[in-house]
């Protein structure tokens, strides 16, 4: 199947709530079913859950790692990209995605939201997941609104709209 685009999912590596893990798993599954390539930081927590969900539905996953070792990647990553960039790899994560989706998240996630806005990428947040997603949900920063979605199905609908516009 031809892919429809790249969706970068950002969120905490640890600790994460079970609720957020369930959200990320469902998001990964639906992204794969819709033909999107899942991009993430490639490690644990939200990144592992979204990649696992995508793999369950035969999707393609890309993990952009902060370190230099491919062994850092979670077992659900198909294409492992070690960068050696540490937190600076967040810029690569953001630039790779056509749309950025926030699930939970901490300080690293917040930096990715800022980068996404600086590069004028659409940013969707699953507010119910907590963390940074709740903090930035619905905010207008500069002239860009961070789009709050109530659930994963609404996120998929919004992703399709944003990708179509691009």
Domains, the chain, ordered by start: 5-165 (3.40.50.450)
pLDDT at 165 over 90: no
Block residue for tokens 């919004």:
158
Report residue 76 as tokens.
């659900």
Residue 29 CA to residue 89 CA, distance in Å, equals: 25
On the CB side of 3, CA atoms within 13 Å amount to: 16
Q: pLDDT digits over 3-52, tens only?
A: 899 999 999 998 789 999 999 999 999 999 999 999 999 999 999 999 99
The pLDDT of residue 147: 97
Instruction: Identify which of 16, 67, 60, 68 has the alpha carbon closest to the alpha carbon of residue 39.
Output: 60
What is the pTM for the complete model shown?
Answer: 0.96
């Amino acid at each position: 199947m031809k892919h429809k685009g790249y969706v970068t999912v950002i969120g905490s590596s640890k600790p994460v709530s079970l609720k957020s893990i369930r959200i990320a798993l469902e998001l990964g599954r639906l992204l794969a079913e819709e033909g999107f390539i899942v991009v993430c930081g490639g490690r644990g927590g939200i990144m592992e859950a979204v990649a696992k969900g995508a793999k369950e539905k035969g999707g393609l996953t890309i993990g952009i790692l902060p370190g230099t070792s491919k062994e850092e990647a979670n077992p659900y990553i198909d294409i492992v990209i070690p960068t050696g960039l540490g937190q600076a790899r967040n810029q690569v994560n953001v630039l790779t995605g056509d749309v950025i989706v926030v699930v939970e998240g901490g300080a690293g996630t917040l930096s990715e939201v800022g980068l996404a806005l600086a590069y004028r990428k659409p940013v969707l947040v699953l507010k119910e997941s907590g963390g940074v997603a709740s903090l930035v949900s619905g905010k207008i920063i500069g002239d860009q609104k961070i789009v709050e979605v109530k659930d994963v199905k609404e996120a998929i609908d919004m992703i399709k709209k944003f990708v179509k516009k691009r």
